[in-house]
Amino acid sequence: MSVGHVSRAFESTGIPTVIVMSNVFRGRVTVMKPARTVFTQHIMGRPVGAPWDAERQTHVLREALKMLEQATEPQTSIVLPERYRVAGR
């Protein structure tokens, strides 16, 4: 919820945002109508990826930046298909 509020304030100030978050909280955030959201199917506390899994972390951020650049309307969102994994697996 907190970052949903921050996102709304940033967007209202003219700063485009993309939220990167675990899909487990999607219900609480979707109703806040955020501009752009990338949901990951990751365990709480590891939204970008597992410790030292740089490959997954970079992938998630690339998807987020792609959405930031390409979204043309509010409430654009995607659930990334990759499931949580540990580094090197």
Partner 1 sequence: MPGESFSEYINSLSYGSRTDLLFKWLKNAGEESAEQFIQELLAELGEVVDTGDLSTLFNMIYEGQLAAYSPPGEETRWQYDDAPFAKLSKPLSEMRVGLLTSSGHHVLGEPHAPPELNDYTQEEATEHIGEYGRAKPFLSAVPTDAPQEKLGVHQPGYDIRAALKDRNTVMPIDRMNELETEGVIGEFAQTAYSFIGLTSQIRLTKEDAPAWAERVRDEGWEAAVLVPV
Binding residues (CB under 8 A) for partner 1: these are 1-29, 31-35, 41-52, 54, 57-58, 61-62, 64-65, 68-69, 73-75, 83-86, 89
Q: How far is the CB of 56 from partner 1 (least distance, A)?
A: 10
Q: Both tokens of residue 63? A: 């998807």
Residue 89 burial (CB count, 10 A) = 6
Closest to partner 1 by CB, 11 vs 78, is 11
Q: How far is the CB of 57 from partner 1 (least distance, A)?
A: 5
Three-state secondary structure call for residue 83: strand
Q: How far is the CB of 78 from partner 1 (least distance, A)?
A: 15
- Please count the CA atoms within 13 angstroms of the CA of 43 that sit on its side-chain side: 5
Closest to partner 1 by CB, 78 vs 84, is 84
Closest to partner 1 by CB, 10 vs 78, is 10
Q: In a 10 Å sphere around its CB, with 0-12 CB exposed, 13-18 middle and 19+ buried, how is residue 61 labelled?
A: middle
